[in-house]
Structure 1
């Protein structure tokens, strides 16, 4: 299990700082810092830094293997995040779906796509033993 004094850090490209801030704040992430070339967010307790690099945007993103996101342990929080995404008209790359239906690792998930084509996956496992 993760220790509370450690945060995961992820750096990704973005093409426009303003639209990046708008997307991640609508998702529920708090803007921590902003510079001329990057923005840093509290991404649900971890750190995501979006570096301005419009020439490094994936024009044809694919879910696998390049994405990041959040596995929620609480179904109510998963549902609230899904509703927040819908209410804020965030763009879905993949609408909510069930994966591995009928198996122990069954989970529900959805993918969002940020303004720089970074793919974000959010999921909830019905069996907590399958989280790792």
Structure 2
């Protein structure tokens, strides 16, 4: 079981660190923790996201199987992030939709795409037991 003091760490490729900074910090509102010549480290909703400078960018990303994101426990937080993404005109890979409609695992989801073609999914389950 995860201890609330532990932090999940994810490293992703970034073709340009200024673009990554603009998307994650100025766009999504993440906090910049550190910046080096080859990477930026971010507080991504309480976890650590590291954008490493790379020339290996997926030119044709697909939602499955490779993406990452946040599953919100509170609908209000999900809605607020969706509104923020719309207001700041962040690039959507897939706009808001309902998955598994009518089933216990029904949830709201949308996907953003960052400047390096990394896909981010944000979800909210109506039944919080389905979060895991």
Q: Which range, TM-score by smaller chain?
A: over 0.9
Matched residue, 1:42: 43
Alpha-carbon distance, 1:4 to partner: 1.2
Residue 104 of structure 1 corresponds to which residue in structure 2?
104
- TM-score w.r.t. the length of structure 2 is 0.97
Question: Quick check: 1:30 aligned with 2:35?
Answer: no
Cα distance, 1:101 vs structure 2: 0.1
1:49-92 Cα deviation digits (max 9, x unpaired): 00000x21000000000000000000000000001111111000
The residue correspondences of 1:1-132 to structure 2 (distance < 5 A) are 2-25=2-25, 26-53=27-54, 55-132=55-132
Once residues 81 and 28 of structure 1 are traced to their aligned partners in structure 2, the CA distance between those partners, rounded to angstroms, is: 10
CA RMSD, 1 decimal: 0.7
| Large movers: runs of 4+ above 2 Å | none
How far, CA to CA, are the matches of 1:32 and 1:75 in structure 2?
Answer: 27
Partners of 1:7 and 1:77 in 2: CA distance: 20
Superposition TM-score, scaled by structure 1 size = 0.97
What's the CA shift for 1:3? 1.3
- Output the CA distance in 2 between the equivalents of 1:105 and 1:76: 19
